[in-house]
């Protein structure tokens, strides 16, 4: 037999096989279960043992395929509904309700429980007039911010009564009833009341709209939609202000340290006080550099434009 004829014959046999297969798939089939629980199939009722014929199910491949398609369609519909619900839930801003203490003696203040670094909770006053976060030395001590190896930068904090010595640092997380913020520049100053441990300012509140229910003594924080032009949840002004502030601290302590170094270099004898000042200035310059570098690393992590980080 020639090769071409063999190929044609093979194709013919293959075509017949597929035709037979497709016809078989469209035919009825029978299914029954024997006394041992084993499932059997047959393409003819004649192949079913008499004792099992009453409990035989007659089905067709076509109907089975239709049922499978229907099931797949329903599963897909369920998946789409679940996905839609998840997207709707994701788009819906989260809301947090926080009870507050409305009185501090005779004064009316909004005092709320605030958790710092996921470890310490303290009563704080919500102050829309304060730009940042202010905490007491006692709270700073409890948070480990006053430890010997902690970064403590000495600054002057200005207020209505003038400027006072303060410590500048950064707290990793601040949480109010589920509402949470990260990387919060913080000022440590002397306690101003026994009823609270500091002030929560606009740095934290800028990512939330706030409602107050004075009857129920409840505050409601609602997330505002994320602004793509606010990396890390902060706008350009926030980034520029903090880079300018921490950069100025660094440069001021560097200049002071260099002045003392020059004075020491020009002196024949160096007093113990001068030595202490020189060491103190060096420590403060190092602390200022560490805070500036921490801010810069946080900015890099959130892809803050380089122009916002210039100082």
How many residues are there in the chain? 311
Q: What is the pLDDT of residue 204?
A: 79
Mind listing the pLDDT tens digit for each residue in 144-181?
999 888 888 988 876 555 678 899 999 999 998 888 88
For residue 133, CA distances in Å to 48, 82, 137, 233 come to 83, 41, 13, 16
Report the alpha-carbon distance of residue 308 to residue 98 in Å, rounded: 35
Mind listing the pLDDT tens digit for each residue in 32-60?
677 787 877 777 777 777 777 776 666 55
C-alpha angle with apex 187: 145 to 283, nearest 5 degrees? Answer: 60
What interhelical angle do 3-26 and 61-91 show, nearest 10? 70
Q: Following DSSP, what letter does each residue of 44-74 receive, concatenated?
A: SGGGS-GGGGGGPEEEEHHHHHHHHHHHHHH
Q: Choose the CATH number for 95-225 among 3.40.1350.10, 3.30.70.120, 3.40.720.10, 2.40.70.10.
A: 2.40.70.10
Report the alpha-carbon distance of residue 19 to residue 17 in Å, rounded: 5
Q: What is the pLDDT of residue 5?
A: 42
Question: 132 pLDDT exceeds 60?
Answer: yes
CA-nearest of 185, 182, 163, 166 to 174 is 182
Rg (CA), the chain: 37
Q: What is the pLDDT of residue 20?
A: 42
Give residue limits of the domains in the chain.
3-91, 95-225, 236-309
Question: 280 pLDDT exceeds 80?
Answer: yes
Q: What is the pLDDT of residue 120?
A: 95
Mind listing the pLDDT tens digit for each residue in 61-99?
556 666 777 777 777 777 777 776 665 555 567 888 888
Q: What is the pLDDT of residue 2?
A: 43
Q: Write down the pTM of the prediction.
A: 0.65
Report the alpha-carbon distance of residue 118 to residue 102 in Å, rounded: 25
Dihedral sign (CA 234, 238, 239, 245):
negative
Mind listing the pLDDT tens digit for each residue in 182-194?
899 999 998 778 8
Q: Which of 185-199, 208-222, 237-251 has the highest mean pLDDT?
A: 237-251
3-state helix, strand, coil in the chain (%, to 5): 45, 30, 25
Phi, psi of 161 (to 5 degrees): -85, 10
Report the alpha-carbon distance of residue 235 to residue 242 in Å, rounded: 11
């Amino acid at each position: 037999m020639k090769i071409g004829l063999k190929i044609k014959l093979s194709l013919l046999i293959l075509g017949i096989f597929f035709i037979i297969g497709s016809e078989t798939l469209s035919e009825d089939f029978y299914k029954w279960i024997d006394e041992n629980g084993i499932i059997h199939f047959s393409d003819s009722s004649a192949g079913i043992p008499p004792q099992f014929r009453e409990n035989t199910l007659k089905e067709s491949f076509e109907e089975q395929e239709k049922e499978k398609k229907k099931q797949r369609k329903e599963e897909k519909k369920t998946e789409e509904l679940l996905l839609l619900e998840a997207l709707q839930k994701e788009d819906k801003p989260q809301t947090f309700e926080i009870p507050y203490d409305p009185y501090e003696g005779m004064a009316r203040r909004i005092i709320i429980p605030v958790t710092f670094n996921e470890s310490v909770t303290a009563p704080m006053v919500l102050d829309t007039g304060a730009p940042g976060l202010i905490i007491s030395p006692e709270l700073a001590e409890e948070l480990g911010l006053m430890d010997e190896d902690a970064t403590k930068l000495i600054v002057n904090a200005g207020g209505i009564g003038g400027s006072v010595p303060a410590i500048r640092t950064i707290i990793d997380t601040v949480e109010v009833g589920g509402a949470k913020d990260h990387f919060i520049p913080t000022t440590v100053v002397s306690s101003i009341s026994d009823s609270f441990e500091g002030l929560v300012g606009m740095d934290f509140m800028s990512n939330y709209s706030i409602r107050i229910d004075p009857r129920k003594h409840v505050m409601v924080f609602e997330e505002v939609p994320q602004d793509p032009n606010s990396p890390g949840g902060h706008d350009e002004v926030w980034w520029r202000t903090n880079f300018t502030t921490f950069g100025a601290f660094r440069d001021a302590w560097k200049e002071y340290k260099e002045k003392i170094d020059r004075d020491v270099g020009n002196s024949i004898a160096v007093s113990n006080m001068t030595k202490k000042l020189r060491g103190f200035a060096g420590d403060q310059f190092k602390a200022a550099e560490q805070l500036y570098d921490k801010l810069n690393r946080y900015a890099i992590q959130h892809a803050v434009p380089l122009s916002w980080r210039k100082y």
